[in-house]
């Protein structure tokens, strides 16, 4: 018999427990100042405390499809407050995803979220009572009163991040221009990243030729007219080494109650040995789980790098107004 979590693996549940999640958009936690951008720690703290209360309220008023689910869920009152928009947060702060500073930010952000979630659950325990299985838990043995057996998780937030207009989970940008296939009743969307468009315009290296090249390729790697600083800041998932992917996950997972869903994107030329190396390194870092995806390994994948088309040639071209973005 095999017992497993859902495929993404961000929440491991006991039989009949339910998955109760909500997401904080980290790109909205960046404060614009006269000399640049910084993290709004107070706003983040307030959002975390509100998010934990919201998720506990969901458990309180939820309607359950079976009595076993209600019983198991209420016994431990597990919640998973998660994040999305981490890559956009780094871009707004001017920090490349693949660097030591990004790992430090990941560590600090998730430690802050974890601490505030603990404070919120402790306050709810005094207000509403501890979760029923508290005495049998590690928290009961330690005398730490909490309303929720778990409080944080990192999920993919694929659809949610599209709705919110930000980057998914703690993933780097997949591409700066790409096809999103089979969405909205089978439509194919072409998307250009508005943060990059605004960045290029502000630093005066944007051109229609650059935009067309970006639409064709999806990344900045081979575009000579783009400054190296921009290439570093807007490096995409396939341009980031597996080690840097894993370091970011490890930083977040250190302060996460449940688990982390994270994908290491490998190029189409990746070998079986390359995949093995990623899994072995993830094990060395003590990660609970990891996903590896070799680009092009499925004939029909949701995200495709570049488009090879101009906006006028495609019926569904999605471009946000770059002037309205945060950078």
Q: Output the pLDDT for position 185.
A: 64
Q: How far apart are CA 179 and CA 305, in angstroms?
A: 7
Residue 261 falls inside a structural domain: yes
Q: How far apart are CA 298 and CA 196, in angstroms?
A: 28
User: Which neighbouring-strand residues pair with 81?
Assistant: 22, 152
Co-location of 306 and 182 in the same domain: yes
Q: How far apart are CA 94 and CA 326, in angstroms?
A: 12
Cβ 29 vs Cβ 59: under 8 Å: no
Please provide the DSSP assignment of 268-308 as one string. Answer: TT--HHHHHHHHHHHHHTT-S--EEEETTSSSS-SEEEB-S
Q: What are the pLDDT digits (tens) for 175-191? A: 898 766 655 566 666 77
The DSSP letter of residue 239 is G
Q: What are the pLDDT digits (tens) for 220-234? A: 988 989 999 999 999
Residue 6 falls inside a structural domain: no
In this predicted structure, the answer to whether residue 320 has a pLDDT above a threshold of 50 is no
> Of 107, 106, 94, 87, whose CA–CA distance to 157 is shortest?
87
Residue 224 falls inside a structural domain: yes
Co-location of 312 and 185 in the same domain: yes
In this predicted structure, the answer to whether residue 326 has a pLDDT above a threshold of 80 is no
Print the domain residue range for 242: 172-324
How many residues in the chain?
Answer: 327
Co-location of 94 and 233 in the same domain: no
Question: Both tokens of residue 113?
Answer: 């979220």
Residue 85 falls inside a structural domain: yes
For the chain, the domain total comes to 2
Most confident of 44-53, 184-193, 194-203: 44-53
Active-site annotation, residues: 6, 8, 10
Co-location of 41 and 133 in the same domain: yes
Question: Other CB atoms closer than 10 Å to residue 99's CB: what's the count?
Answer: 15
Which residue do the tokens 């409080």 mark? 151
Helix or strand run (H / E) with residue 178? strand 177-183
In this predicted structure, the answer to whether residue 141 has a pLDDT above a threshold of 60 is yes
In this predicted structure, the answer to whether residue 136 has a pLDDT above a threshold of 80 is yes
Residue 13 falls inside a structural domain: no
Torsion, Cα of 116, 118, 121, 127 (10° steps):
-80
């Amino acid at each position: 018999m095999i017992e497993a979590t859902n495929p993404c693996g961000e929440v491991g549940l006991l039989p009949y427990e339910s998955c109760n999640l909500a997401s904080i958009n980290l790109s909205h936690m960046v404060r614009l100042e006269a000399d640049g951008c910084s993290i709004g720690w107070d706003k983040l703290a307030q959002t975390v405390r509100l998010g934990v209360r919201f998720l506990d309220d969901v458990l309180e008023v939820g309607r359950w499809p079976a009595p076993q689910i209600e019983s198991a869920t209420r016994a431990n009152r597990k919640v998973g407050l998660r994040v999305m928009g981490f890559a956009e947060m780094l871009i707004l702060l001017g920090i490349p995803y693949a660097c030591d500073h990004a790992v430090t930010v990941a560590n600090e952000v998730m430690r802050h979220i974890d601490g505030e979630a603990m404070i919120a659950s402790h306050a709810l325990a005094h207000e509403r009572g501890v979760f029923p299985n508290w005495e049998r838990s590690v928290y009961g043995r330690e005398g730490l009163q909490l309303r929720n057996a778990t409080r944080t998780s990192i999920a993919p937030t694929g659809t949610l991040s599209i709705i919110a207009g930000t980057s998914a989970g703690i993933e780097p940008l997949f591409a700066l221009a790409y096809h999103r296939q089979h969405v909205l009743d089978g439509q194919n969307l072409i998307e250009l990243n508005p943060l990059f468009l605004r960045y290029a315009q502000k630093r005066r290296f944007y051109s229609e030729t650059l935009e067309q090249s970006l639409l064709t390729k999806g990344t900045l790697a081979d575009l000579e007219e783009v400054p190296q600083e921009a290439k570093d800041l807007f490096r995409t998932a396939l341009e980031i080494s597996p080690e840097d992917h894993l370091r970011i996950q490890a930083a977040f997972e250190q302060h996460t109650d449940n688990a982390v869903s994270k994908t290491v994107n490998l190029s189409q030329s990746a070998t079986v040995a390359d995949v093995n190396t990623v899994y072995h390194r993830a094990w060395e870092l003590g990660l609970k789980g990891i996903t590896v995806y070799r680009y092009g390994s499925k004939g029909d994948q949701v995200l495709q790098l570049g488009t090879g088309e101009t906006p006028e040639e495609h019926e569904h071209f999605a471009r946000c107004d770059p002037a309205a973005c945060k950078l």
